[in-house]
Structure 1
Amino acid sequence: MRSSIVPYERTILSGYMSGYSFLLEGMGMANENRLTEKTLKAIKTAQHGERVNDGGGLVGQVRGSGSVSVSFVYQFRSPDTSKQREIGCGAWPVDSLAEIRARRNTYREQVRNKIDPIELRRQNQADLEEARRQEHNRRLAAQREADAAAKAVAAEAAAPTMNTLFAQWDELHGATLDAHWRAVRQSHWRCHVAPVIGLLKIKEVDTKPLLDHLDRMRLDGNAVTANKVLTLVRQVAKWGKARGYVASGSPLLELDPPTKSKDPKAQQKAENFDAAAYLAKHGDEAIGEDGEDDKAGRALSFAELVELLHNKLPASTQANTGKSMICFMLATGVRGNQAVRLRWNWVVLEKRLIIFPAGSMKARKMHHVHLSDFALEQLQKMAAIRTGDFVFPAPIKENDHVLRSNVGNDITARQFYRQDGERENAYQARLAKRLKCRRARQDLDRYNLSAGKWTLYDLRRTAATRLCEVTGADWDTIKRVLAHANDHGVTARYVRFSQWEDRCAALNALGTAQAECQAGQLPDVAKASNQVRLKQA
C-alpha cells in the first residue's frame, strides 16, 4: 500500500500525521519511538524532502543530496507565548536515534517546567558569548600586564649604569679636553670608580662604597688623587643631571671634596713655634715670604739655581733632553704638559718666538712666548739632535714626545733627604730600598738643594717668582707671560694691549739672570739693592 502512494500524497499524509501526532502528544496519547535504525537506513535519496515522525513531538525531514540524512526537530508549544515552535535535536546518521531522543526528552522536560528551550538556548548562548568576551578581555588584560612587565624589565635592564654615563660624558665632553688630561680622567675612573660603583644603575647608586674607597686612599697617602676622583664623579653627575640621566635628589650631586683644614701645622702653633729654628731650616731666603707654608710646592731661589744650573745639572746622568727641558721651563714659565708637546712647527727661531696654538693651551687660547738667549740656547741644543716633529723627543718611541712623568721621575729619583725626626735604622732601610734603583746608585742625591725637595711642577713657580723679582713685581706682565686668565672683565675685550715688549724685556731679564746662575754667579738682581724695574704700561 505504501509504495503506491505518490510523493505528493505522501507529503500530505506525512504532514497530516505529524500534526496529528503533535496533537496526540499534547493530549498525552501519542506513541513514541516509532522509528528504528533499520527504518531510517531504508530511506532512499528519492524521498528527499519527506518528513518522518518518531512521536513525542520529534519529527525528521529527509535530506537526499548525495547521501541520505534526516534532520530532527522537536515541536512544542512555547510556555511563554503559547505559539508552536521547533528546536533542532540533531541529524541522523551523524547523531544516533538515542542521542536525538535524549535531546528531545531534555527539551520536553524544560517545556513541562514552563521553560522555552529556544529562549533558554539563546540565553545560554548569550551567557556563553559574555563569558567568552570576558575571557577574551581577561586574556587581553593579562597580555597587556605581561607586556608592561616585560617592558619594565627591559627598561630596567637598559637603564644606564655609571660606566655608561661616564662613557657618554667622555665621548661628548672628554673629547674637548687635552688628550693627556682626558687620559688621566679615564684612568681615574677605570681604577677608582668603575670597580666600586661602575656597574650600578644611576638611580640605584649608593655613594658610601665610593667614599669608603676614597677614605682608604687618603689614609694610604693618596689624598690628592682621591679628591680628583671625587671631583670627577661630581662633574660627571652634574653633566648627567643637565641631560636627564641623574635625578635632582641623587646623592651623586652632594659629593664635595673635603675642604682644607685651617688648623696650623704643629710647628706653626703658637706654643711650638721657634723663629730661629724656622730660619735655620729654611734659610734667610724665607724672610718676607708670608704664608708660603700654606702654598703648594715651592720656588727655587737664585742661590739654589746657581747650585742646580752650575753644579748639579751638568754633573747629572739625566738625558740631555730632560736637562734642556728643565732649563727651558725655568726660562719661559710654560707648563710641563705644554713643554713636552712642543713641536718644531710652533717655533720660529729667527724671530725668537714660540706660538702655542689654542688646542695645546689649558685655557684654549693661543699664547706667544718670547725666547731669551738662555731659552734659545736650549732649543738650539735640541735642534742639533732633532729626530722628528717634537722639540723634546721620546728616547725610544719614534716621532713621539718625552713623557712629563719620565722627566718628573728623573728629578725626584735624584733626591734623597733625611726626614725630620727620622731614626737612623729607618733612614738606612729607606736608603737601602732606594739604592736598588739604577739611577739612585749613580745620582742618589745629585739634585738635592739647600732648601729641600723640589719637583718638575716647581719650575713654573720658580719662573713666576723670579720674574716677579726681576720686574719689580709687575704682576700684569707676569700674568701675560704665564698665560693666566685676564681678570679685567669686560674691559679686556676692548683694550687690545698685549704688553709684548714688557713680556720680552721680563723674559730677557730672567734669562740673563739664569745665564749668570749657570756660570756660577749669583745674579745682581738677587741683591735687594739692585732690582730691575720695567716700564709700566
Structure 2
Amino acid sequence: MARPIKKLSAVKVRQEKMPGYYSDGGGLYLQVSPSGSKSWIFRYARNKKSHEVGLGAYMNVSLDVARERAEGMRRALGNGDDPLAMRHTERAKAAVKMTFAECAKAYIDAHRHGWKNIKHGEQWANTLATYAEPVIGKKNVALVDTHDVVHVLEPIWTTKNETASRLRGRIEKVLAWATTRGLREGDNPARWKGHLDTLLAKPSAVQKGEHHAALPYPEIGKFMLALRAMDGVAARALEFAILSASRTNEIIGAHWNEIDTSAKLWTIPAERMKMKKEHRVPLCVRAVAILKEMEAIRHGDFVFPGMKEHSGLSNMSLLAVLKRMDRADLTVHGFRSTFRDWAAECTNFPRELAEKALAHAVRSEVEAAYQRGDLLAKRAKMMDAWAVYAGRTVTER
C-alpha cells in the first residue's frame, strides 16, 4: 500500500510552533526548530543509511514549491541517483568560477599546439587582451551576455571591422569552451547568425569603406632612402615587405626553408597565406641582399629573428619602425596599395600580374581558367621594375 502524501495543509504549516518534524509524506518534512524557525527537509534511505537534504526555509519556500522539490528528489532516487551527492555536485559547480580572461587563457593554452603558425596564438592573445579583457576580462564568464559582447565590438566595428570580426569569432569560441566545461549555460551571446547580425552592420558593408593608410607612390623613393638609413632587423623586414608587396604576417613568419636565394625565390606555404594557397614570390636584387644580411646574423629558423631565441619579430615591430620614422600615419599593409597604384598608373603591366603579386583571389571563374599558372617570370620583371622605381628619389625620375 502506497504511503500517503500531501498530508500537511498550508494552515497547519503556518500555525505549527511545536519543535519537531512534521511529515507531508513521500519523504518531505517540515522541521520546526526550538527557536521557532521552520525549514523543509527531504529524508531518504540509501545503502541502509538515512540521509537528509535541506530544501529551503519556510519563509522562502512555500508548501507547493517544497512538494515540487521533493518530487524531484524522488525522481532522482527512481533513476538510481543519490540526491545528496547530486546536491554536493551542484554546489561544487557553483563554487567553480572563472573570469573571461582566465577562460581565454585556458582556451589558447589548450589549442596552441594544434595551431600550425606560432604567431596565431599570439594574435589570439593580443586581440583579446587589447579589446575584450579591458571590458569583460574580470567578469565571471557565466555572466557575460549580449550587452557585454556588443560593448566590446561596437567601438571598432566600423573602423576596424576585419579585426572586430575576428575578435567576435574568438569571443564566441572562448564562451563555447566555457559552456562545454560547465562554466556557463544557455545560447552563446557572441554568435552572429540570428543574433548579433540584428544589432551590427554586415562586415561586407562596413569593410567597403575600410582602407589602410598608404603612402602615395611618388613618395616611395624618398621614404625608402630614409628607411635604408635605419638599422635593425625590423627595418630590413619592413623594406623586404615593401619590395615583395607582402603582408606583415607573411614577413614575420618567414622561415629559411622557404627561401632559395640562388633562384631568387621565396615560396610561402599555403597554411601561412590568407587564401590558403601556396604563393611564390620573385625576389629583386635588393631583396636578396637583405636576405644575405639576415643570413649573416642567423640564429634560428626565422628569416627575421626576434628578441627571444627561436622566435620571429612581433606583429607590432614593423609598425614600430614607422613610428620611429615619424610616419605613424602609415600602415605596413598600406604599402601594398602603394605598389598596386604604381603598377596601375605608371606601368603597362597587366592588372592580373599585380593581383597575382598581391596574392589576391581572382575575380571570376573565367579569369581563373585562364590564369592557372602564377605568371612567375612576368611577375619577376614587374617586381624588378618596382624595386628600381622605389630606389629612386623624385629628382632622379
TM-score (normalised: structure 1): 0.48
Residue 184 to residue 238, structure 1, CA distance change in 2 (3 Å): same
Residue 332 of structure 1 deviates from its aligned partner by 0.9
Measure the CA separation in 1 of the matches of 2:356 and 2:180: 35
Cα distance, 1:353 vs. partner?
A: 0.8
In structure 2, the partner of 1:300 is 215
Distance across 2 between alignment mates of 1:320 and 1:250: 45
Q: How does 1:187-336 map to 2 (within 5 A)?
A: 187-190=126-129, 192-193=132-133, 196=136, 200=140, 202=142, 204-212=143-151, 229-237=167-175, 249-253=187-191, 254-255=195-196, 258-259=200-201, 294-310=209-225, 312-314=226-228, 316=229, 318-336=230-248
Equivalent residue number for residue 291 of structure 2: 379
Does the CA-based 8 Å contact 2:108-2:125 persist in structure 1? Answer: no
- Secondary structure of 1:140's counterpart equals strand
Q: Identify unmatched segments of 5+ residues in structure 2.
A: 1-22, 28-41, 53-81
Question: Distance in 1 between the 2:323 and 2:163 partners?
Answer: 19
CA distance in structure 2 between the partners assigned to 1:404 and 1:197 by the alignment = 23
Residues matched between the structures, number: 318
The structural deviation recorded for 1:455 is 2.8
2-structure distance, mates of 1:138, 1:313:
81
For 2:90, give the aligned amino acid.
A
* Secondary structure of the structure 2 residue equivalent to 1:350: coil
Cross-structure match for 1:414: 325
What is the aligned-residue RMSD (CA, Å)? 4.7
C-alpha contact 1:477 1:503 (8 A) present in aligned 2: yes
Structure 1 residues 183, 325: closer, same or farther in 2, change over 3 A? closer
Partner SS, residue 304 of structure 2: coil
Letter of the 1:410 partner, please give it: V
Match of 1:501 among 354, 361, 377: 377
Gaps of 5+ in 1: 1-130, 262-291, 416-446, 523-537
Kindly report which structure 2 residues correspond to 1:101-500, keeping only aligned pairs within 5 A, or say none.
138-140=43-45, 144-157=82-95, 162=100, 163-164=102-103, 167-168=106-107, 171-172=110-111, 175-176=114-115, 178-190=117-129, 192-193=132-133, 196=136, 200=140, 202=142, 204-212=143-151, 229-237=167-175, 249-253=187-191, 254-255=195-196, 258-259=200-201, 294-310=209-225, 312-314=226-228, 316=229, 318-386=230-298, 388-394=300-306, 397-398=308-309, 400-415=311-326, 453-469=329-345, 472=348, 474-488=350-364, 496-500=372-376
Structure 1 residues 323 and 302, CA gap change in structure 2 (3 angstroms):
same
The whole-number CA distance in structure 1 between the counterparts of 2:350 and 2:186 is 47
Give the aligned residue type for 1:259: A
CA distance in 1 between counterparts of 2:394 and 2:223 reads: 11
Q: d(CA) in 2 for partners of 1:391 and 1:519?
A: 32
8 Å contact 1:178–1:360 — kept in the other structure? yes
What SS is found at the alignment partner of 1:251? coil
The separation in 1 between residues aligned to 2:201 and 2:342, in whole angstroms, is 30
Alpha-carbon offset, residue 161 of structure 1: 7.1
CA separation in 1, counterparts of 2:160 and 2:385? 39
Distance in 2 (CA, whole Å) between partners of 1:507 and 1:222 is 30
Letter in 2 for 1:205: V
Q: Which amino acid aligns with 1:183?
A: E
Q: Is the 1:197–1:209 Cα contact (8 Å) retained in structure 2?
A: no
CA drift at 1:404: 3.9
Give the whole-Å Cα distance in 1 for the aligned partners of 2:384 and 2:248: 21
Rounded Cα–Cα distance in structure 2 between residues aligned with 1:381 and 1:170: 35
Taking the aligned partners of 1:399 and 1:145, their CA distance within structure 2 comes to: 55
Deviation at 1:513, TM superposition (A): 2.3
- Cα distance, 1:480–1:196 mapped onto 2, change above 3 Å: same
Q: Which amino acid aligns with 2:223?
A: L
Shift of 1:467: 3.1
The structure with the larger Rg is 1
Assess, with a 3 A threshold, how the Cα gap between structure 1 residues 206 and 404 changes in structure 2: closer, same or farther: closer
Q: 1:174 to 1:226 in 2, by over 3 A?
A: farther
After superposition, the C-alpha distances for 1:120-177 in whole angstroms (9 at most, x for unaligned) are xxxxxxxxxxx9xx98x95328654433323433454569875547734763488436
On the 8 A contact 1:374/1:512 being kept in 2, the answer is no
> How many Å separate the matches in 2 of 1:208 and 1:303?
47
The letter for the 1-side match of 2:387 is G
Q: Given the superposition, is the C-alpha separation of residues 414 and 465 from structure 1 closer, same or farther in structure 2, using an over 3 Å criterion?
A: same
Deviation by residue 1:453-482 (Cα, 9 ceiling, x = unmatched): 323232222223323345547333223222
Partner SS, residue 44 of structure 2: helix
Question: Structure 2 counterpart of 1:521, which letter?
Answer: E
- Report the residue type matching 1:477 in the other structure: L
